[in-house]
Chains A and B, each alone.
Chain A
Amino acid sequence: MPDISGLIIINNHFSIPGSPLMPGAIYAEGLVKTFGAVRALDGVDLDVPEGTVLGLLGPNGAGKTTAVRVLTTLIRPDSGKAVVAGLDVLKQPNEVRRSIGLSGQFAAIDEYLTGRENLRMVGQLYQLSARDAKKRAGELLERFNLADAADRTAKTYSGGMRRRLDLAAALVVRPPVMFMDEPTTGLDPRNRLQLWEVIEELVAGGTTLLLTTQYLEEADRLAHDIAVVDHGKVIARGTSDQLKAQTGGERVEVVVHDRSEISAAEAILAKHSMPGTGPEGVTVEKHTRRLTVPVTGGAKLLAEVIRELDGRGIEIDDIGLRRPTLDDVFITLTGHAAEDADEQGGAEGGGATADKKQKRKDRKQKKGAVK
């Protein structure tokens, strides 16, 4: 506790809790960053109140990583303003670096160093004394369940262990503001759950966190607020519940028995789709033979759909009514954008749809595995 207050005095930048005039622990206004012809950030605004978690959600190439790189001083934006922990990112980058921890997309650890050596090195580069760095390394190895492997080279670590070591390295000085760029990408379900618990513990301790993810489930579980990013813009923000309410309605989900029955089933579902969503309202996943449609009408409507499908002789493996998930929110919000990009034939846009489907598939598989 005394150490923490020391940190506050040194940095002298915390907003007074409840003060409405102070910007959040992470604040960005009109961030623009272009790489050649690609507008990676196209006017991003963010505001993360102290002690909360913002989930930055979006497909590959949406600009999530670029946003994190700007906020962590790694790249300068073309224009815009960014304040982290009360410090101007563009004017006081080194002071900002003292107050942040970054856990990037890849575990940024030295494979030929042991876990302990990695953490001691990072501690010293955070300007801790050699003694403090050593002590802190020991604590973190304990806390992240790496004590047994502490003196083995990181090369021998599993993916989950590397991730934990990377996160430990980002927490050496217990920074008040943390950035995690897709922290659980590539982890198996067990390791993901473990990492989620660590993150939750961290946030319970008062850390402000900006987290990017492609997993809606992850944002749902960890984030207080979610900002959906696509094509370098924030296209929606709110709590998970707000976003789901915005998407509205319930979903009927059908798995047909035979692939050839998909289009017939699609026609039936389209008739019942919620007004305003149009025929595009029906989402089809061919490989799983799964169709989803937003509806308003509850169980009665479900019974009607079953009757109609039955009447047309369409055999179904599974059918159900469910509340919208963040997946649905995401597709509702980004569906058009992805199509537009396709029409432009941009190199990035072209791959986006297929990419997203693949991601969705991955998510589905992960979900199944978690259960």
Chain B
Amino acid sequence: MTATTTAPAAPTPAAPAGGLRQSVRDSLTVAKRNLIRMLRIPEVVVFGLFQPIMFVVLFSYVFGGSINLPGAGLDPGLYREFLMAGIFAQTVTFATAGAGAGIAEDMHKGLIDRFRSLPMARGAVLTGRTLADLVQTGLTLIVLGLVALLVGWRTHENGLKVLAGFGLLLLLGYAFTWIGALIGLTVRTPEAATSGGLIWLFPLTFISNAFVPSQNMPTVLRHFAEWNPFSATVQACRELFGNLPPNYPVPDAWPMQHPAWASLIWSIVIIAFFRTLAVRKYKSATA
């Protein structure tokens, strides 16, 4: 009855590997697809670098001399070192927009329908995308780090600590791409996902210790800044890079006193929460 057509017989699908192994395999397949895309549209990566580089230059040279850093005064050199962790952290969180736009585009073009009709792990499309974004974030950080070195940024701690700082940055960026994934599945167009992935990031990154110390902010903003997940990572990086001015008064809030732990916990909580929501949304996604 099921005679073959003219083409050779189709290969038999392997028995369902199921579970974690299939999830990992499917996620890597999707990640590879997204990385190939990235190579084919290098403009996205290149333009993605402009903004942080611009911020490095603007903040260092335009604002640098006017910002009074506790424990450092108006020394632009010290401010530049202080600033870099903030720019790094802001850059990694901007990957949110890319993830959101990518997934919204896949929805828009019907690719998500195709994926959802395949016998693949349910979370793999999103995990694959976020993993590819993680690679991009890593590359961006390397380039940005080199630019920072050019304008005079230096680390003053051992290599392991510096690596740990970059590890926290990557984890934060990865966590934020899950927020992007949820946005991408929720809005209808890539354009909306891009703006929807960015607008709330501006207040979030500015009401933090990223560019200026939080000590001089009005009380409400100060509390927000001190508990902002973003600030925890920035503070942790400053400590791990040795970029805090010698007599910098660290705020008393718990996340500022234990920034590395706070950063780690925040990132894991964000991943757990938004991954759960995004995967649930994916299962019932309709273009």
Could you tell me if B12 and A206 are in contact, using CB atoms closer than 8 angstroms? no
Contact residues of B: prevailing secondary structure: loop
A124 to B118, CA, bound (A): 10
| Choice from A14, A100, A106 contacting B117 with Cβ under 8 Å | A100
A347 to B136, CA, bound (A): 45
Contacts A108-B113, A110-B37 given; does A127 touch B9 at CB 8 Å: no
- In angstroms, how far is the closest chain A Cβ from the Cβ of B195? 23
Residue of A nearest to B5 (CB): A205
A169 to B116, CA, bound (A): 14
| Choice from A1, A4, A112, A139 contacting B37 with Cβ under 8 Å | A112
Contacts A4-B2, A117-B36, A125-B29 given; does A143 touch B116 at CB 8 Å: no
User: Which one of B14-22, B47-55, B89-97 contacts A?
Assistant: B14-22
A143 to B10, CA, bound (A): 12
Could you tell me if B13 and A94 are in contact, using CB atoms closer than 8 angstroms? no
Could you tell me if B116 and A113 are in contact, using CB atoms closer than 8 angstroms? no
A176 to B1, CA, bound (A): 11
Residue of A nearest to B112 (CB): A108
Residue of B nearest to A208 (CB): B2
Interface flag for A3 (CB, 8 Å)? yes
Contacts A110-B37, A117-B33, A176-B2 given; does A125 touch B10 at CB 8 Å: no
Interface flag for A136 (CB, 8 Å)? yes
Chain B contact-residue range equals 35 or more
Interface flag for A299 (CB, 8 Å)? no
- In angstroms, how far is the closest chain B Cβ from the Cβ of A223? 19
Interface flag for A204 (CB, 8 Å)? yes
Interface flag for A39 (CB, 8 Å)? no
Interface flag for A257 (CB, 8 Å)? no
| Choice from B4, B7, B32, B114 contacting A108 with Cβ under 8 Å | B114
Contacts A8-B2, A97-B119 given; does A128 touch B36 at CB 8 Å: no
Q: Chain A 73-103, CB within 8 Å of chain B: the 1/0 string?
A: 1111000000000000000001101101010
Could you tell me if A136 and B11 are in contact, using CB atoms closer than 8 angstroms? yes
- In angstroms, how far is the closest chain B Cβ from the Cβ of A171? 8
Could you tell me if B118 and A125 are in contact, using CB atoms closer than 8 angstroms? yes
Could you tell me if B110 and A7 are in contact, using CB atoms closer than 8 angstroms? no
Could you tell me if A126 and B3 are in contact, using CB atoms closer than 8 angstroms? no
Could you tell me if A126 and B119 are in contact, using CB atoms closer than 8 angstroms? yes
Could you tell me if B11 and A128 are in contact, using CB atoms closer than 8 angstroms? yes
Interface flag for A58 (CB, 8 Å)? no
A75 to B284, CA, bound (A): 7
Q: Which of A4, A108, A128, A135 has the most CB of B within 10 A?
A: A108
A residues contacting the other copy or chain, number (CB 8 A):
65
Which B residues lie within 8 Å of A128 (CB)? 11, 13-14
Interface flag for A132 (CB, 8 Å)? yes
Which B residues lie within 8 Å of A204 (CB)? 5
Interface flag for A332 (CB, 8 Å)? no
Could you tell me if B117 and A205 are in contact, using CB atoms closer than 8 angstroms? no
Could you tell me if A122 and B114 are in contact, using CB atoms closer than 8 angstroms? yes
A179 to B128, CA, bound (A): 27
Could you tell me if B119 and A136 are in contact, using CB atoms closer than 8 angstroms? no
Which B residues lie within 8 Å of A125 (CB)? 26, 29-30, 115, 118-120, 124
A160 to B281, CA, bound (A): 33
User: In residues 86-130 of chain B, which contact A (Cβ within 8 Å)?
Assistant: 109-111, 113-120, 124
- In angstroms, how far is the closest chain A Cβ from the Cβ of B115? 7
Could you tell me if A127 and B3 are in contact, using CB atoms closer than 8 angstroms? no
- In angstroms, how far is the closest chain B Cβ from the Cβ of A212? 14
- In angstroms, how far is the closest chain A Cβ from the Cβ of B17? 7
- In angstroms, how far is the closest chain B Cβ from the Cβ of A315? 50
Interface flag for B8 (CB, 8 Å)? yes
Interface flag for A121 (CB, 8 Å)? yes
A6 to B15, CA, bound (A): 11
Residue of B nearest to A111 (CB): B109
Interface flag for A353 (CB, 8 Å)? no
Residue of A nearest to B11 (CB): A132
Interface flag for A368 (CB, 8 Å)? no
Residue of A nearest to B114 (CB): A108
With contacts A113-B33, A136-B11, A176-B2 known, what are 10 further pairs, Cβ within 8 A?
A14-B2, A105-B110, A108-B114, A125-B26, A126-B13, A129-B14, A132-B11, A143-B6, A201-B6, A205-B3
A-B contacts, 25 listed (Cβ < 8 Å): A3-B9, A4-B9, A7-B13, A8-B2, A73-B117, A74-B286, A75-B286, A97-B117, A97-B118, A98-B16, A102-B113, A102-B117, A104-B113, A108-B109, A110-B37, A113-B37, A117-B33, A124-B25, A125-B26, A125-B30, A126-B118, A127-B16, A128-B13, A172-B10, A173-B10
A-B complex: 7 closest residue pairs judged by Cβ atoms: A174-B10, A205-B5, A108-B114, A3-B9, A132-B11, A108-B110, A97-B119
